[in-house]
Amino acid sequence: MKAQYKILDLRNRPPLPPYKAIFDLKLNLLNKPLKRELGVMWFRWLSKTVLPLRINRGAATVTPSMRMVGHPEAMTQWWREIDEAGIDAVVANGRLTEDRGSITAEALADLQKQYSQRFYGLAPVDLEKEPAQSAADCERAVRELGLRGANIEPGLRKRGSGATHVDHPDLYPIYETMSALDAPVMVYNSAFAAPKQPYLVNEAPPYDRVLGKFPKLKIILGHGGYPCVKQILELAPRRPNLFICQDIYTFWPGGRLYQRQIDRLQDQFIFGTSYPFSSMAEPIEQTLRFKLSRAAMEKYLWGNGARLLRL
């Protein structure tokens, strides 16, 4: 069944020390049944979902590689799990944070060279710098290092007034640069993307304003704008350069809304597992059961992401 489709996992992280904080969160939170259930209850409240929910199998699964961060054989085991899941290529985003991991554009470029045509990186954007310098770093990452796009985390910004919406003017030089490069910008959003403000970078109006001002900009919603699912799904038809990678939230409360729209918005949905927050095999198995047209499934699993990253 897996061999019928090429698969690009747009949301994945290798088990390397720079990502250790993410792996620790998986093992200390989602791996604990009680904590996981409390998380489900919170997500139901945030997403205003009352329908019964089947267990998120990927979130409940711990694979061997998740416990091997920094181990000499960690990458070998990670690639083994990628192959077993039927994934052809993975994308990892860079980030520069003190408590959620930090990996540079240079490190991602090295991995991209080491695992040519199977690993692709999105450069981290340092929003604590002057905007012009952040934009220049993005251009270097794409033009010189060969990375396929950039990842911004406005909800974690500390500069100036701190956490902000995506339509803050300080981000405009980055958008201008990425538009000129024809390279996408992934925005880290979700209920955890801004401390104490679960809706800050997820609400649709700021994205509408940005894409109106920068019509050639391609924005990928990492985590799909969750929990503002309805807002994002209403905006997407009007903004074809808005791409939804809802990854693990496909199977959390409210995720059925995403599932029902993949065929209708088949040029805008992109598959991701969110490993290590989810295993890789289970979400693929569940996705292949979706009642999608073959064309929509091909675009979702490979075509849309490959087009955006110019693979």
pLDDT digits (tens, 9 = 90+) for 186-209: 999 877 766 767 677 889 999 999
Under DSSP, the state recorded for 269 is B
pLDDT by residue (tens digit) across 152-191?
A: 999 888 888 888 999 999 999 999 999 999 999 999 987 7
- The pLDDT of residue 14 is above 70: yes
Q: Binning pLDDT at 50, 70 and 90, where does residue 46 land?
A: low
pLDDT by residue (tens digit) across 114-157?
A: 999 999 999 999 999 999 999 999 999 999 999 999 999 998 88
Q: Binning pLDDT at 50, 70 and 90, where does residue 286 land?
A: very high
Whole-angstrom Cα distance, residue 274 to residue 96? 18
Q: Which residues contact 294 (CB under 8 A, 6 or more apart)?
A: none
Give the rounded percent of residues in the chain with a pLDDT score beyond 70: 90
- The pLDDT of residue 273 is above 50: yes
Topology adopted by domain 2-309: TIM Barrel (3.20.20)
Q: Binning pLDDT at 50, 70 and 90, where does residue 1 land?
A: very low
Whole-angstrom Cα distance, residue 194 to residue 189? 8
3 state SS of 90: strand
Highest-pLDDT range among 187-196, 228-237, 245-254:
228-237
Secondary structure, 3-state, 172-200: HHHHHHHHHHCCCEEEECCCCCCCCCCCC
Task: Output the DSSP codes for 278-303.
Answer: S-SHHHHHHHTTS---HHHHHIIIII
Q: What is the largest CA-CA distance in the chain?
A: 51
